[in-house]
Structure 1
Amino acid sequence: MQPKKIGLQLSAYTKEFNRNLNIAFPVMLGQLGHVMVGLVDNLMIGRLGAAPLAAVSLGNAMVFIALSLGIGFSFAITPLIAEADGAKDIEKGRSYFHHGVVLCTLNGVFLFLALLLAKPILHYMDQPPEVVALAIPYLEIVAFSMIPLMIFQAFKQFADGLSQTKYAMYATLIANVVNVVFNYLLIYGIWIFPRLELEGAAIGTLIARFFMLWFVWEILRRKKKFAEYFKWSRKEFLKPDIFKRLLALGFPTALQMLFEIAIFTATVFLAGTLGTNPQAANQIALNLASMTFMIAVGLGVTATIRVGNQKGLRKFKDLRRIAFSTFLLVFLIEAVFAVGFILLKDWLPTFYIDNTEVILLAAQLLVIAALFQLSDGLQVVILGALRGLQDVKIPTLICFIAYWLIGFPVSWYYGKAEQLGSMGIWLGLLAGLTASALMLYLRFNFLSKRLIEKKAVLA
């Protein structure tokens, strides 16, 4: 093929990069803001020692499982709002928004109670006793923050569906400042505040999440663009068919996130069986990898929004081209991060802790993290595109197969001390994410082609 023709074909995708990034950038910053809450906790608590850092890892492992379910349900709001927006149907969009807020509120309460009931599990997971003792009080406080966080998610996903991604970003970034301030005051006991260490970090997170909810509600309700959506009416409230549609999209999406988050959480428990230092190293590598992953999440949301819009407009050729532009963009971005992890693997862990063994172990894990950057980024963006098509059931099955029938057995077998230890655990992650990216791509390729063919036949 001639270079000029290749260039023209490539430009069909690259010309969408600016639009993709304009939508994705606020989401990226907002998602990074969520991770920054954990990063700040880790950096501040890491100065207290390896055991407190491992305790935060263990407590957050439980929270992340609940978080994956809650956020997964909330993700159902975005493609439905995006499709309604593409079809210029404000009434339908308003109904999805209102029902989404109710569903997310109930979800937050349920997840809070579930985390409290799940606390005793930590005693039976072969974790270091001193780590479990520190993790439980931390978990109790952070669990309550699930309620404001889930309600915030409803507002965030609604605004994302309208391509207004910047307001949730503002809320998240300002909330991070609140979190940093209260963490500093409460972890170390500065000024009139008591020294609460891990519990202080949890209280800082709780305060920040209530602030984040108040801020996003206040800013959205005052904007003219959202005025029609904030008109609450009893006659359109609590319609079972709307709840059913949200649940039909939300439950499989929640399972998708659960399958992925759970395998990362499993690495925390598997690393804990190797000892406190491997668990602390695992937490450092996970925290760094999750920061780059949030960039991909931003493009995944962009794929959902733009594919949902094109679906509402029934422009299926543009839908496929735009989706592929997001796949190409995330591949290029994650390739840069992969190189960065390899070059900086010995330096990045030193920001968290000054334990030489932990730093060495974390540096080894970052090499594997660099390798799975590409597949991890691709799989989340392709999932976003499939969500825009409102295709969630088969992708859920794909996620289960990739993570739990392919990835986890590798982690479990090679993650034993007599095998490869922590490196073996992360090889399982690499295998699962790569399998997921490949199978999801095949699924999207099939569905997008079929939509184009069907429209051609009907025409």
Structure 2
Amino acid sequence: MNLKQYTKEFSYNFRLAYPIILGMVGHTLIGIVDNIMVGKLGSTELAAVSLGNSMVFIAMSLGIGFSTAITPIVAEGDAEKNDPKIRSAFHHGLFLCAIIGLMLFGVIVLAKPLMELLEQPKEVIVLAKPYLDWVAFSLIPLVMYQGYKQFADGKSLTKYSMYAMIMANVLHVGINYVLIYGIWIFPKMGIIGAALGTVISRIFLVTFMHIMLSRRNDLKHFFKDFSFSEIKSATLKKIINLGFPSAMQMLFEVVLFTASIWLCGNIGKTSQAANQIALSLSSLTFMFAMGLSVTSMIRVSNQRGLNDFKKLVVVARSIFLLAIIIETVFAILFVTFHDFFPHIFLNMENGGQVLDNTEVIAIASKLLLIAAIFQISDGIQVVVLGALRGLQDVKIPMYITFVAYWIIGFPISYYLGEHTELKAQGVWIGLLAGLTAAAIFLYIRFHYLTKRLITNSVSNS
């Protein structure tokens, strides 16, 4: 293996990936800012936000997963210089994103009684329900923003989502601060203030994105003369056929992590708060792999459009290697600072919370040691999944992720969490097992497909 052919792709990969990474880190920071600000109110409030967000994350994963169908079609059309194909994917994709956002909002509001069925602490449910109504509403602008983002990513214009996310984040922190704690003329709204901050910042997010993209001269023709008469059922069907399995892949993973929140909630309030801290930090570092996953999808789609399958394999493997290097660095950081990181999320000066908080920190620091290892598995599985989406291979990966997370990962999490002394650590060992299985199976699938594509192109030439 010639390592240089892979490492020479690193700089272009990173140029394409870093705006996506920063935009996705911005996504995650919205949740982390909520957790840090709400954590200062108390561990019950933190558990309520965690429970509310766990339901929203499931819906969000469906919306984001579905929207990823737009990028490979746009990127392929971009390589082919086929503007009608790009315009069609953008308009149909945005139309579907708006409908899906509305549907997800409705489903989450109707799903609130699930909290009681999951036997979550009563005082947590009381706070979580009104919080959930508002955050669920923010899914409508968020999924529409995804439609714009996936279009821009497909055109390799990855900086715009970063700019929009930075602006929305600055706004979010400011609104959160004044509404949670009741600064100046604003009332003290607690966790409802955090929810309103999320809604307002996401409405601005989609607005910023529309304004920036529609003002670019080379994109103006994609924004002109949108009409419902252009919407064709055949194109909708193509996007749904690509989007539905992608949404399912993301759903299987997010529901596994959400199940970890519920399992830790069953173990106790401190385990649930510790789980939320570890999840917040590992979600933040996972965004680097997610950015590389989108890069993988864009570049593989481009090479597919050019029918250059040998270059496609080199490009994809260079991204896989970059992901492994970056996630290994994060793994070392997690091991080094596993005792320090949990303190950021809790107010240790609050006398009434000292016992709870000490227990939360003890559990969270152990979870971060497991998270350090699964960073690497998680990074590999998501970048390989991006490459497979670029090949427009979504159905088999959907089955692979289901088996890895729900036949392998969840039973281990459930058994070790509920029936052994490992408790929250046991839940996370199950997560690690599921992610590792997904990484191995998905890479085998990618290797098999690309080998077949190269063989076919050689025999046809």
Which residue in the other structure is 1:3 paired with? none
- The amino acid of 2:202's aligned partner reads R
Where do 1:221-236 residues align within 5 Å? Answer: 221-234=214-227
Q: Is 1:207 aligned with 2:209?
A: no
* CA distance in 2 between partners of 1:55 and 1:235 (Å): 41
Residue in structure 2 matched with residue 437 of structure 1 by the alignment? 439
Deviations 1:122-180 (A, max 9, x none): 01111111111111111010000000001100000000000001001100111001100
8 Å CA contact 1:73–1:251 kept in 2: the answer is yes
Q: TM-score, normalised by structure 2?
A: 0.97
Cα displacement (A) at 1:272: 0.2
Distance 1:134 1:19 in 2: 47
Contact 1:90 1:228 in 2 (8 A): no
Equivalent in the alignment of 1:424: 426
| Deviant stretches of 4+, over 4 Å | none
Structure 1 vs Structure 2 CA RMSD:
0.9
Matched, 1:358 2:351: no
Contact map agreement 2:38 2:191 (CA 8 A) in 1: yes
- AA of the residue aligned to 1:36: L
1:275 matched to 2:272? The reply is no
> Is residue 443 of structure 2 the alignment partner of residue 403 of structure 1?
no
**Cα deviation per residue 1:15-58 (whole Å; 9 max; x = unaligned)?**
00001001100000000000000010011000111110011110
Which residue, 139, 143, 148 being the options, matches 1:155?
148
- What does residue range 17-96 of structure 1 map to in structure 2 within 5 Å? 17-96=10-89
Tell me the distance in 1 between the aligned counterparts of 2:373 and 2:417: 18
Q: What is aligned with 2:176?
A: 183
Shift, 1:235, TM fit: 8.2
- Tell me by how many angstroms 1:224 deviates: 1.4
Letter paired with 1:327: F
**Hey, what's the Cα distance between the residues in 1 that align with 2:228 and 2:83?**
16
Confirm or deny: 8 A CA contact 2:249 2:397 kept in the other structure: yes
2:380 aligned partner: 378
AA paired with 1:421? K
Which residue pairs with 1:345 in the alignment?
A: 338
Residue 393 of structure 2 is aligned to residue 387 of structure 1: no
Q: Which residue of 1 aligns with 2:162?
A: 169
1:306 to 299, 304, 324: 299
- The alpha-carbon distance between structure 1 residues 416 and 88, as it changes in their structure 2 partners (threshold 3 A), is same
- SS for the counterpart of 1:119 is coil
Structure 1-normalised TM-score? 0.97
Secondary structure at 1:342 match in 2: helix
Q: Is the 8 A contact 2:91 2:226 kept in 1?
A: no
Displacement of 1:419: 3.2
Identify the residue that residue 456 of structure 1 maps to in structure 2.
458
**Identical aligned residues as a percent:** 55
- Partner in structure 2 of residue 98 of structure 1: 91
SS at match of 2:111: helix
Whole-Å Cα distance in 2 between the matches of residues 42 and 271 of structure 1? 17
**CA offsets per residue over residues 80-102 of structure 1, 9 Å max, x none?**
00000011001110011000110
Q: Which moved more, 1:422-431 or 1:119-128?
A: 119-128
Structure 1 stretch displaced more, 120-129 or 407-416: 120-129
Cα distance between partner residues in 1 of 2:45 and 2:33: 14
Counterpart residue identity of residue 367, structure 1:
L
For the 8 Å contact 1:413–1:419, the answer to whether it is kept is no
